[in-house]
Amino acid sequence: MPEDRLILGACLGECVHVAGILSFLHLAEQNGYKTLFLGASMEPGRIAEAVKEREPNMVAVSYRLSPETGERWLRRFVQIIEKERLREGRTYLFGGTEPVARIARSLGFFDAVFGGGTRLEEVVAFLRGEGVKSRRVHHASTLLGRIAQKHPYPVIRHHFGLPSFRETVEGIKRIAEAEVLDIISIAPDQDAQENFLHPERQDPSREGAGGVPIRNVEQLRELYRASRRGNNPLLRIYAGTSDLIEMARIFLDTINNCFAAIPIFWFN
């Protein structure tokens, strides 16, 4: 009888890329599973023997090389598992690059397939027996709230600001819809940092130098509106290199600045 909450994992065929499946097994352990990693470059027959010997209730295989060879290995794996009558009563998982994942899905054998577009939240939800797509997720609107919501995983931040304001708006939309970041750190150009409240000091020839040219409050609000989709990432921005107090108020009011970087000595 399959052992409850034991996951057996292996890299299939000649694949030696173990980082992905080891990360999955570690995630499973954090969610109450016992795991056993057979190793890299495992023949389907060797995996089948381990399934007989250890009787896991989940079997996870990974392949991260070319889809052509991946399809051959996957078909051999499925044939051996079915021939040895090891399919019933167990959950079979596959993880790999998206091209190989598409092949794995087409076989109709695996209970879950994790490819390049799979989010961490989906993997955790699967391990916990929850449905991700069917439930509406509330995304915390403060830094401390987002940290608590992501625990025990870190919040992910990245710097983003293109020399074109319009391209920056569209980029923020794409990042938010992809749900890859928790915090978008807006990179303004130097005139936005230093002379936002002093248009007479701004030099048009420097527009876009070092980041996105933001010249008024409405543009800040537009950046915030662009982020209100997907996982609703938090926004933050440099507090400016002059007029610190007033700029801090503006950023809080327009983009709900989740934390500030204060240049006490730099250009101040």
- CA dist 213 and 208 (Å) reads 5
User: Does pLDDT of 142 surpass 90?
Assistant: no
Q: What is the pLDDT of residue 218?
A: 96
User: Does pLDDT of 254 surpass 60?
Assistant: yes
Structure tokens at 9: 């994992």
Domains defined for the chain, CATH in brackets: 3-127 (3.40.50.280), 143-255 (no CATH)
Strand pairing partners for 6?
Answer: 34
Q: What is the pLDDT of residue 149?
A: 79
Q: What is the pLDDT of residue 263?
A: 67
Burial class (CB in 10 A: 0-12, 13-18, 19+), 230: middle
Enter the pTM of the model: 0.56
> pLDDT per residue over 48-91, tens digit each?
999 999 999 999 999 999 999 999 999 999 999 999 989 888 99
pLDDT band at 153 (very low <50, low <70, confident <90, very high): confident
User: Does pLDDT of 261 surpass 90?
Assistant: no
- CA dist 193 and 214 (Å) reads 9
Burial class (CB in 10 A: 0-12, 13-18, 19+), 1: exposed
Residue 179 is classified by DSSP as T
pLDDT band at 135 (very low <50, low <70, confident <90, very high): very low
- CA dist 147 and 157 (Å) reads 12
pLDDT band at 234 (very low <50, low <70, confident <90, very high): very high
Q: Of 136 and 243, which is predicted with more confidence?
A: 243
> pLDDT per residue over 183-215, tens digit each?
999 999 989 988 999 999 999 998 998 899 999
Burial class (CB in 10 A: 0-12, 13-18, 19+), 52: exposed
Structure tokens at 59: 């079997």
User: Does pLDDT of 132 surpass 50?
Assistant: no
Concatenated DSSP letters of 100-158 = HHHHHHHHT--SEEE-TT--HHHHHHHHTT--STTSPPPPPSSHHHHHHHHTTSPP-EE
> pLDDT per residue over 8-58, tens digit each?
999 999 999 999 999 999 999 999 999 999 999 999 999 999 999 999 999
pLDDT band at 108 (very low <50, low <70, confident <90, very high): confident
CA-nearest of 33, 30, 31 to 7 is 33
CA-nearest of 195, 194, 175, 177 to 185 is 175
Structure tokens at 88: 């019933």
Instruction: Tell me the average pLDDT of the chain.
Output: 89
Sheet strands (E) in the chain:
3-11, 34-37, 56-63, 91-96, 112-114, 157-160, 183-186, 234-237
Helix axes 120-127, 19-30, angle to 10 degrees: 50
User: Does pLDDT of 118 surpass 90?
Assistant: no
Cβ pair 11, 61 in contact under 8 A: yes
Helix axes 44-54, 67-83, angle to 10 degrees: 40
Structure tokens at 46: 């060797």
Q: What is the pLDDT of residue 134?
A: 40
